[in-house]
Amino acid sequence: MINANLKGSLHALIAPLGAIALTMALGFLLVAAISDEPVLAYRELLFANFDSLSNFALFLNRATPLVLISVGITFAFRAGVFNVGGEGQLFAGAIATTVVGIAFAGLPAVILFPFAVIAGIAAGAAIGWVPGILKVKLGVDEVVVTLMLNTIVLLFTSYLVNQVIRDTTAYGAVSWKLPEHIWLPTIPGIPGATSGFMVAVVLSLLSWVVLFRTHWGAEVRSAGTNLRYAEAVGIAAGNRVITAMLIAGGFAGLAGALYVLGIGHRFEQNFSPEYGLIALTCALLARVNPAASLFTALYYALMLNGAAYMQISTEVPRSLVMLLTGLLVLLMTARLTRKGSNSQTFDAF
Amino acid sequence: MSYESLLASVLEQSTPLVLAALAAMITLRANILNVAVEGMMLVSAFSAIAVGSATGSALAGFSAGIFGAVGTSLVFSIITLRFGAGFIVAGLGINLLAAGGTLFALERWYNSPGGLRPLGFPEMWHVPEGSLSFIPLLGPALEGQSIIVLLTVLAVPACWMFLYRTPTGSYLRAAGEDEHAARSAGINVVRMKVLAVTISGLFSGLAGAQLAMDKLHFFLPNMTAGRGFIGLAATLFGAGHPWVTASAAVLFGFFGALGDRLQAFDIPAQFVLMLPYLVAILALTFSRWRIYVRNKPAKL
Amino acid sequence: MGHDNILVLDGITKKFGDIVALEHVDLSIRRGEVHVVCGENGAGKSTLMNILVGIHAPDGGKIVFNGKETTIRDPLAAGAMGIGMVHQHFTLVPSMSVAENLFLGHHLRHFGFFSDRQAMVERAGTLIDTYSFALDPEASVRTLSVGQRQRVEILKALVFDAELLILDEPTAVLTPPEVEELLKVITNLRDRGRTVLFITHKLREVKAVSDRVTILRRGKNISTHITKAVTENDIARDMVGRDVFLMGRQGQGARAFGKNVLQLENVSITNSNGRLLLDGINLDVRAGEVLGIAGVDGNGQTELAEAIAGLIPVQAGTIRLDGTDINNASVVRRQEAGLGFVPEDRLDRGLSRNMSIAENMAATNYLRAGILWRGFVDKGRLAEFTQKGIEQFDIRGAKPSLTVGSLSGGNMQKVVLAREFARDPKVLLVSQPTRGLDIGASEFVYSEILSAADKGNGILLISSELSEIFALADRIAVIYSGRIMQILTREDADEETVGILMNGGKEQAA
């Protein structure tokens, strides 16, 4: 029994690891073609993150929003909603926290801090709720709605940050700084690393328990795999789907809140290198498992930050990582056999 | 401003959107939600500028744009239809790959991550003045426009002809609507889907070439700025019908053109730019709501 | 032979892995006859037809068509040879016109590139007139009724001049008047020189339409008869291998029952056009009783089941479970009040194929079976509970952690039964419990249902298989067009009466 389970989980690892290995190999060929020092470039890409404590701190900071968003997306996917709206939900959370933090800067931290965080979560959840309710009540395609909402939210934050809360002393589309008393503390011993990372780790493990070890989690997964079955066995399936989308949006909103409170300390219109899309990649690579997406998010943070070190040390441009991400997303759901779909995969995606 | 010049500016503004919408439409008819239009447009815009400036030939640049997008569409076909990847995930992958690939090329070979602005760039072929004046209203509006604008105006009825008046178009619709029925009638469903994706590559290629080559003559990272998604919204709004889809795209283009004007009335540009996306969500919701109401059980 | 055979099958064998689907089947079809192949589910009828149209290749034996030994590569090749197939599931494109559908894949052309729509409409019109089908060639298929769609499906085979027309269970989706129409169409086709191979397991149709009948049982052909020379009971005996009507409770006499556990009073449901899908249904089921709902599919059975289960609201009337009004109760409330529900389609409402057997079996039992501890799942108790169900219902190849999708149809159905029976519900609503199951699995399901009744559970059995109703039911209610025509006790019911009622009580059974 244990052996069979182990075999099963090993088997489940082959496809994502294969896609990662293939992508890294293709990337290496590309680097080798344009650079004299491909090995150095790859060393920098993967290991420079551990060269110093400050590099490591940046690495953890990069991972934090990725972990949170991809765990949130996991809830949506498990409930059968293909949520491509992580980016919009993230921005909604970040801007809401910023607006609250700036508008009520005079309040003491004990009140303002939770208020700002809750505002971020609520804004993200609200953006997640829209596609959820539209899908459940009317069957509107969630992919289109979430894609459109991303642009709408980004335009809205662009308006706020340019016209309303813009820091007129700074260059670019950035807001005023948040009051220092609600900044998130750093992790003790790692200067510069946001303690938001600890929150992300705890929440990802907690999410695994909720999804796979509680009755509620079983109900969400039932609704996600077969809505009509879920109804017939007495699950309030629509309700579960909407709740899962609220959670997904809430997680992305929290990611935005923790980003401005712990890393950026202000809202910047260009703070996200497509975190939403990369987090979706992490969630799918982790086979829609919140605990596993902790690791895929860390892997991605490694690459995103490593690219900068790679560019400094060798002449390989950092946009290599974006290229590799594209390749990985492209290859991720591909299968070598034509009809090789097994019951573990998410056929609909 | 005369009607002709107003029409001319709306045509120019909305051409990339109409082409993106047709690209998404043709795949939607084969039951593929094509989010990769954005990426294919970007590849086309980049190849058009890169090759056009290197060769000094507008035709070479134009062809490179088309080939770039069609090539990308083939990658999309192979990864989804041969290797079974999901259309949405693979489409998002294509977009990332296009964005990353063009940026990578800019950084690596042109050393200018900010964009590619060649000093001199060959002019596109334009519709000669007076050549179409025999067509009322539309003729004068087309004169002086790039050849791609003219092609786009022709592409809409051509798409309609193809889908509703040719056997292949009919089979493509059948493959999209009911795969089982199509297959049992001897139609090669995979081939139809490849055809749809390839045509969508062609339209995306035209869209990207128009965007970069017509007036701007340069390439910027992410210069497509979501036009592929607006095209998708127009298609869903038009339920895959060529005329409605194209009209929706023109309307969305009109909102874009309106954006600058409305700022004079203190309405921020961002809110005007949001309109097509908001309209798309509302329109989709409304059409589903109507179906919902129609299917409700009647009162006794 | 003396006869002109259009098709001869000689020793056809087909295996799927270890399972022998067909074993040395011989069949000869005479030109211009209507030949019925009948047999129980799983007897090999579908496999045989799939071989004839080239979907499966036989592992042994030969096919002789029009005097020549042939191999049939694929459905297109079959069509080109003159074998046309009318599938049980329609292969029509709803948004296209009748004419477009008829010529799908073979459009007539103008200038080699454009569709010649006018020519197609004309050709379709001629064809429709030839067979006097009332159809508008330019009407979109979406607007047609199921019966009309089936006629389009038949025409599709005739466009390319099929000599041999195979109809696979064509009456399964039709209402009784549509069945009558179809039987006339088949006779008409024969009169025009076509050969028709008709697959069914409904005895009445066999008698009504065929010249000869071949019976398959467990992958072997048992017998071929001239239809006139045999009775329905003879055919039934060959199909099942013994006297069907001796199964189950037949001949046991009246049993004693308890109080009413399920009551329906004037229950009505409409569709969006205002048509009544259920029209004033009055029913009651007593403890320990099996009430069978007999009827042709599509006469309101689905709505009846979903209304009782709480999945669709009723527009009028009252549903009582054990005396309490459950009209406005949620699905869970109804379960708690003692309702068990086995849906008609296990992969639709019954199971989630991508989830584990354990999670499927526990779905309605988490609280009752003590699997939960403060909302958390006790994995040990879950495995224990599932293992018990697997053993009790003899679910082969099952382990709690495997996905349900890895099981065969019969074993999937057992997972549903194990889940619902585990709660020992006061009322068990069982819909089409043996659809798609082989005889062995069906018998197991029968005995489980009967022993549940013996324990005192009230059972509402909805089935379109008359033999099933007769084997299990203490009383038989016949549903037609959303109405209960009559309720008979098993002693008073015979197949002829029930058959007449199932068809609206108007025509004489053949």
Q: Distance between CA atoms of C194 and C368, rounded to whole angstroms?
A: 60
Q: In what order do the strands lie in the sheet with C458-463?
A: C339-342, C427-431, C458-463, C290-294, C475-480, C483-489
The per-residue pLDDT for range B65-82, each reduced to its tens digit, is 999 999 999 999 999 998
User: C417-438 in b/e burial notation, b at 16+ Cβ within 10 A?
Assistant: bbbbbbbebbbbbbbbbbbbbb
- Whether residue C105 and residue B295 make contact (CB cut-off 8 A), yes or no, is no
Closest approach of A127 to chain B, Cα-based (Å):
13
3-state secondary structure A142-167: HHHHHHHHHHHHHHHHHHHHHHHCEC
Exposed, middle or buried: residue A209 (CB in 10 Å: 0-12, 13-18, 19+)? middle
Contact A331 B284 (CB under 8 A): no
Residues of B in contact with C92 (CB under 8 A): 178, 181
Query: How far C370 CA sits from the closest chain A CA (Å)?
Result: 12
Q: How confident is the model at residue B296 (pLDDT cuts 50, 70, 90)?
A: confident
Q: Report the 10 Å Cβ neighbour count for A159.
A: 17
Nearest Cα of chain B lies from the Cα of A281 at a distance, in angstroms, of 9
Where chain C has pLDDT below 70, the residues are 1-3, 41-42, 173, 175-176, 241-254, 438-440, 505-510
Q: Which two tokens stand for residue B97?
A: 């790959």
pLDDT tens profile C56-109: 889 989 999 988 898 888 888 888 888 988 887 788 999 999 999 999 988 888
- Domains of chain C are 5-240 (3.40.50.300), 260-502 (3.40.50.300)
State the pLDDT confidence band at A12, using cuts at 50, 70 and 90.
low
The residue extents of the domains of chain A are 63-293
| B228 has pLDDT over 80 | yes
Number of CB pairs, chain A paired with chain C, less than 8 A apart: 70
The count of other CB atoms within 10 Å of the CB of residue C260 is 16
Partners of C86 in the β-ladder: C167
C-alpha A12/C-alpha A20 separation (Å) is 14
Residue corresponding to tokens 């799942």: C377
pLDDT digit string, tens, across residues B83-133: 888 898 899 999 999 999 999 999 888 888 888 888 878 888 888 887 887
CATH number at residue B12: 1.10.3470
ipTM score: 0.86
Q: Which residues of B touch C114 (CB under 8 A)?
A: 161, 165-166
Chain B residues in contact with A333 by the CB 8 A cut-off are: 84-86, 89-90
**Cβ atoms of A67 and A293 closer than 8 Å:** yes
Does the pLDDT of residue A8 top 60, yes or no? no
Which stretches of C17-105 are assigned E, i.e. beta strand? 19-30, 34-38, 60-65, 68-70, 83-86
Share of chain A above pLDDT 70, in %: 93
Q: Which domain holds residue B15?
A: 3-295
Q: Do A343 and C354 touch (CB under 8 A)?
A: yes
pLDDT single digits (tens) B139-187: 888 888 888 999 999 999 999 999 999 999 999 999 999 998 898 888 8
Query: Any CB–CB contact under 8 A between A112 and chain B?
Result: no
User: Cβ of C96 and B184 within 8 Å?
Assistant: no
Q: How high is the pLDDT of residue A342?
A: 34
- The angle subtended at Cα C244 by Cα C240 and Cα C249, nearest 5°, is 140
Contacts of C127 (CB under 8 A, 6+ apart): C102, C155, C158, C159
User: What's the whole-number mean pLDDT along residues A90-116?
Assistant: 95
- DSSP per position, A264-286: ISS-BTT--SSHHHHHHHHHHHT
Chain centre to alpha carbon of residue B192: 20
Q: Is residue B300 part of a domain?
A: no
C-chain CB neighbours of B181 within 8 Å are 90-93, 104
Asked whether C61 and C12 are in contact (CB, 8 A), the reply is yes
**Nearest CA of chain B to the CA of C175: how many Å?**
21
Q: Which of C332, C349, C375 sits opposite A228 (nearest CB)?
A: C349
Q: Is B233 touching A (CB cutoff 8 A)?
A: yes
- The mean of the pLDDT values for chain A is 89
Note the pLDDT of residue C333: 93
Structure tokens at C175: 């209402």
Say yes or no for a CB contact (<8 Å) between A228 and C377. no
Nearest C-alpha in A relative to B289? A138
Taking CB atoms and an 8 Å cut-off, how many pairs form between chains A and B?
151
Q: How confident is the model at residue B261 (pLDDT cuts 50, 70, 90)?
A: low
d(CA C318, CA C321): 10
Give me the pLDDT at residue A11, please.
Answer: 64
Beta bridge partners of C216: C221
Residues facing C429 on adjacent strands: C341, C460
In a domain, B205, yes or no: yes
Greater model confidence, B251 or C34: C34
Q: Are A144 and B101 a contacting pair at CB < 8 A?
A: no
Say if residue B266 is exposed, middle or buried (CB neighbours under 10 Å; 0-12, 13-18, 19+): exposed
Q: How far is B288 from chain C (nearest CA, A)?
A: 16
C387 in contact with A, Cβ within 8 Å: no
Residue type at position C226: I
Asked whether the beta carbons of residue A324 and residue B100 sit closer than 8 angstroms, the reply is yes
Structure token digits, residue C40: 């129980």
Q: Confirm if C355 and A222 have CB atoms less than 8 A apart.
A: yes
pTM of this prediction? 0.85
* Contact (Cβ atoms closer than 8 angstroms) between residue C51 and residue C3: no
Position C284 scores a pLDDT of 94
More confident residue, B167 or A320: B167
Instruction: List, for residues A42-61, the tens digit of each pLDDT value.
Output: 898 889 989 999 999 999 99
Contacts by B117-123, CB closer than 8 A, 24 or more apart: B117/B217, B117/B218, B117/B219, B118/B49, B118/B52, B118/B53, B118/B217, B118/B218, B120/B53, B120/B56, B121/B49, B121/B52, B121/B53, B121/B61, B121/B213, B121/B217, B121/B218, B122/B52, B122/B56, B122/B57, B122/B58, B122/B61, B123/B58
What are the tokens at A117?
A: 């965080």
Chain B residue at shortest CA distance from C76? B186
Helix, strand, or coil here: C221?
Answer: strand
Interchain contact, A215 vs C311, CB within 8 Å = no
Instruction: Specify the DSSP element, H or E, that contains C292.
Output: strand C290-294
Please return the burial class of A172, using the count of CB atoms within 10 Å of its CB with bins 0-12, 13-18 and 19+: exposed
Q: Calculate mean pLDDT across residues A134-141.
A: 92
Residue C460, SS3 per DSSP: strand
Retrieve residue A185's tokens: 């503390």
CB A240 within 8 A of CB A230: yes
Structural domain count of chain B: 1
Q: Say whether B41 sits in a helix, a strand or coil.
A: helix
Task: Quickly count helices (H) and strands (E) in chain B.
Answer: 12, 0
Q: What is the pLDDT of residues B283-294, one digit of tens each?
A: 889 888 988 888
Q: Which chains touch B (3 or more CB pairs under 8 A)?
A: A, C
Give chain C positions within 8 Å (CB) of A228.
348-349
CB-CB: which of C350, C403, C405 is closest to A229?
C350
Q: What is the mean pLDDT of residues A333-340?
A: 56
Band of residue A3 on the pLDDT scale cut at 50, 70, 90: low
Give, in order, the Cα–Cα distances in Å from B82 to each of B14, C369, C479: 34, 47, 49
Mapping DSSP onto H, E and C, the string for C52-77 reads HCCCCCCCEEEEEECCEEECCCCHHH
Chain A residues within 8 angstroms (CB to CB) of chain C: 4-5, 213-216, 218, 221-222, 225-226, 228-236, 343-344
Instruction: Output the pLDDT for position C507.
Output: 42
- Confidence tier at B263 by pLDDT (50, 70, 90): low
Phi-psi region of A192 (alpha: psi -120 to 50; beta: other; left: phi over 0): left
C427-470 per-position pLDDT tens digit = 999 999 988 776 667 878 888 999 999 999 999 999 987 778 88
User: Distance between CA B65 and CA B98 in Å, rounded?
Assistant: 13
